[in-house]
Amino acid sequence: MNLALFAHTWRANRARLLIVFVALGLWGAVLPIVYDSFGSTFKDIFASGSLPPQFAQFGGGDIFSLSGSVAIGFIHPIAVGLNLIFAVGFATAAIAGERQRGTLEIMLSRPISRRVVYATLAISGALFIGIAVLGSIIGSLIGASLTGRTAELGVGQLPLLWLNGALLYWAIGAIALLASASFDRLSQAIGVTLAFVAVSYFLDVLGSLWPDARGLQPYSVFYYLDPKTILAGFPDAGDLVVLGAVTGLAILAALVVFPRRDLAAPS
Amino acid sequence: MTAIATSGLSKTYGRATPVHPPGRPHATVVRALTDLTIDVGEGEIFGFLGPNGAGKSTAIRLLLGFLHPTAGRASVLGLDVVRDSVAIRSQVGYLPGGIAFWDGLTGERLLDDLAALSGRPATRRAELLDRLELSPTTLRRNVRDYSRGMRQKLGVIQALQHDPQLAILDEPTEGLDPLMQYAFYAILQDLQRAGRTIFFSSHVLSEVERVCDRVAIIRQGRLVALEDIPTLLARRKRNVEMRLEGEPPPLAGVPGVSDVRIEDGRLRCRLEGDVAPFLAAIAGLTIHDLTIEPARLEEAFLEFYTGDLIDDEAPQAIAAGAPPAGGTPPVADA
């Protein structure tokens, strides 16, 4: 890791990180409040049978418990979109974006190996993602406190919930950084990564809404994000292992690909 | 000691495919650089010339480890460009052609960040800022507000501020006004006096004549000339123009004389090398006016740029039936 490059990267992203952190915090706080205000109403609606029960279990969450609503908050497109600002936006721009802009060669003309450049960007991205996910956790905690339901939340499980959420976006970020290290143009890196994320998200949501498609869910990285089970005190170590393995494999592939690539003049 | 040494350095892009779909050609292989062999001495100002797409940037990127050679070897300051790329870059300052910056930073922040990335103190920054007339007020502005010339000055400063042993500069005077170009030439000469080596590519031939000790001219990926400037100047052709009385003499077979023509009642030709045979051929003629002037250096270069290659088997892109020449396999820049 190169501290000068890390400091440069931190300065370039800190304002954006603050905005994402606050936005995720607000989003995280809203759902316990919504649950507190309308949870029983929702429960009555679903109990009446007017809506399919799957609708109440979107992405592995539910709206009948605090942990379920926090889980929905994690898998909701708003939260996913905010987290992808760093997992996809930062990671794809970190190498392919710099290369397309012509600034990568200024960076690489310094005495820093490509592996160190990659490692520094990967660590920076991991930190940004970790802080962003922390925003959701802190938001949920604040929301639970405001509604007087802190005890119901399972505060002791929050570090594990953070790890699960961070690992999901680290896995996506590692894939994005691999694409970034492999392609010359930002649009290519973003396209490949977003295609992966979209298919993955679709498979998970489809499986959660349609029982016949449940077999597709294990092929999605989002399937391994399981806040409700973690908050209930029954975390599945397998989820963390799978996400960790995806992250590790993507990092290994990038460490092989990036140093061996030819970096011709940007066109 | 040699600052830069290359031997048979070659770079081929693309890969020939022995099997391909019917009706589709083999993959195109581009030979960006073929068999480049040059030596640049320490303390030398070395010009690297060639038309667009000749392979200059490819050669520079090979020296800096951005590209891996397909064949041949190269060393910079005694270090191998493939194995010791990071160590090389700790002693090199690089100005890319058409430089790009992080535009959201101020000039000062940018120079600070780049100095920190270099891992060496910016000992020459103050002097360079002064000589290139970049004021502290300008440095406090965001780079996105800089003019083209100011960005180029910033590029020169970031390449030289840490006093590198070797400066590799790609089109360094692009965008600089004439006054700043002079300031830049003076900086180069001071660096040379301090024992630094300068390797720079340029399209501005007059500046090459002004500051370089030697030049390499590259075309279609091949070295077509490697000369010191005085030799190049001595070899250049002279333009001859004379106004005669009577029939023009038969100059076509005279050694060193070429391109004989009569225009506007004047005989014009070009003269190369020893002038004695030419003077002998026109002896006894009634000459009203005679002008012999050295061709501009540009013309000498343009001959290299436009003449036929002796070995013309180096097209830039070939429909490949054979795989690219074997050579140095890709080695990780770890």
Task: State pLDDT tens for residues B210-236.
Answer: 888 899 988 888 998 888 887 777 777
Domains of chain B are: 2-91+165-233+301-319 (3.40.50.300), 237-294 (3.30.70)
> Quick check: ipTM above 0.85?
no
Hey, are the CB atoms on A113 and B96 less than 8 Å from each other?
Answer: no
DSSP character at residue A110: S
What contacts A249, CB < 8 A, 6 or more positions away? none
Give which of A63, A64, A86 is closest to A75, Cα–Cα: A63
* A148-158 mean pLDDT: 83
| Interchain CB contact of A181 with B (< 8 Å) | no
Which of the pair, B331 or B44, is modelled with greater confidence? B44
| Interchain CB contact of B116 with A (< 8 Å) | yes
Hey, are the CB atoms on A108 and B96 less than 8 Å from each other?
Answer: no
Query: pLDDT tens digits for A63-101?
Result: 677 888 888 888 888 999 999 999 999 999 999 999 999
CB B112 within 8 A of CB B143: no
- Judged against a pLDDT cut of 70, whether residue B331 lies above it is answered with no
| Interchain CB contact of B57 with A (< 8 Å) | yes
Q: C-alpha distances in angstroms, A249 versus A68, A86, A242, A255?
A: 31, 19, 11, 10
- Judged against a pLDDT cut of 90, whether residue B258 lies above it is answered with no
Two tokens, residue A211: 């029982």
CA distance A190 to A195: 8
Closest Cβ opposite residue A262 in set B67, B100, B158: B67
Query: pLDDT tens digits for B145-192?
Result: 999 999 999 999 999 999 999 999 998 988 889 899 999 999 999 999
- Judged against a pLDDT cut of 80, whether residue B32 lies above it is answered with yes
Q: Which amino acid is at B280?
A: A
Q: What is the pTM of this model?
A: 0.84
Q: Please tell me the distance in Å from A265's CA to the nearest CA on chain B.
A: 7
Phi–psi pair at B130, nearest 5 degrees: -65, -45
**B-proximal residues of A, 243-262, CB under 8 Å:** 256, 259-260, 262
Q: Please tell me the distance in Å from B153's CA to the nearest CA on chain A.
A: 15
CB A46 within 8 A of CB A95: no
CA distance B5 to B40: 6
A108 vs B contacts (CB less than 8 Å):
64-66, 89
Q: What's the pLDDT at A199?
A: 96
Position A170 confidence tier, pLDDT thresholds 50, 70, 90: very high
Query: pLDDT tens digits for A101-142?
Result: 989 999 999 999 999 999 999 999 999 999 999 999 999 999
Query: pLDDT tens digits for A206-238?
Result: 888 888 888 999 999 999 998 888 888 888 899
* B121-125 mean pLDDT: 92
| Interchain CB contact of B161 with A (< 8 Å) | no
Q: Which amino acid is at A138?
A: I
- Judged against a pLDDT cut of 50, whether residue B318 lies above it is answered with no
Percent of chain A scoring above 70 in pLDDT: 91
Beta strands B2-13; B28-41: pairing state: antiparallel
Per-residue three-class SS string for chain B: CEEEEEEEEEEEECCCCCCCCCCCCCCEEEEEEEEEEEEEECCCEEEEECCCCCCHHHHHHHHCCCCCCCEEEEEECCEECCCCHHHHHCCEEEECCCCCCCCCCEHHHHHHHHHHHHCCCCCCHHHHHHHCCCCHHHHCCEHHHCCHHHHHHHHHHHHHCCCCCEEEEECCCCCCCHHHHHHHHHHHHHHHHCCCEEEEEECCHHHHHHHCCEEEEEECCEEEEEEEHHHHHHHCCEEEEEEEECCCCCCCCCCCEEEEEEECCEEEEEECCCCHHHHHHHCCCEEEEEEEEECCHHHHHHHHHHCCCCCCCCCCEEECCCCCCCCCCCCCCC
Q: What's the pLDDT at B239?
A: 86
Lowest mean pLDDT among A191-200, B8-17, B23-32, B80-89: B23-32
- Judged against a pLDDT cut of 70, whether residue A57 lies above it is answered with no
Give which of A103, A87, A127, A108 is closest to A7, Cα–Cα: A127
Q: What's the pLDDT at A55?
A: 61
Q: What's the pLDDT at B314?
A: 40
Give which of B198, B215, B219 is closest to B206, Cα–Cα: B215
List beta partners, residue B71. Answer: B10
Q: What's the pLDDT at B99?
A: 87
Hey, are the CB atoms on A263 and B66 less than 8 Å from each other?
Answer: yes
Position B35 confidence tier, pLDDT thresholds 50, 70, 90: very high
Beta strands B166-170; B2-13: pairing state: unpaired
| Interchain CB contact of B84 with A (< 8 Å) | no
Two tokens, residue A110: 């310094």
Give which of B76, B29, B39, B58 is closest to B221, Cα–Cα: B58
Position A58 confidence tier, pLDDT thresholds 50, 70, 90: low
Q: What's the pLDDT at A41?
A: 73
Q: What is the mean pLDDT of chain B?
A: 84
Count other C-beta atoms under 10 Å from residue B58's C-beta. 27
Beta strands B79-80; B92-95: pairing state: unpaired
Best residue of B63, B70, B81, B86 to probe chain A, by most A CBs closer than 10 Å: B86
- Judged against a pLDDT cut of 60, whether residue B328 lies above it is answered with no
- Judged against a pLDDT cut of 70, whether residue B27 lies above it is answered with no
CA distance A246 to A249: 5
Percent of chain B scoring above 70 in pLDDT: 84
Q: Please tell me the distance in Å from A190's CA to the nearest CA on chain B.
A: 20
CA distance B212 to B205: 10
The residue of chain B with its CA nearest to that of A8 is B113
Q: What is the mean pLDDT of chain A?
A: 89
Lowest mean pLDDT among B85-89, B282-286, B300-304: B300-304
* B75-100 mean pLDDT: 93
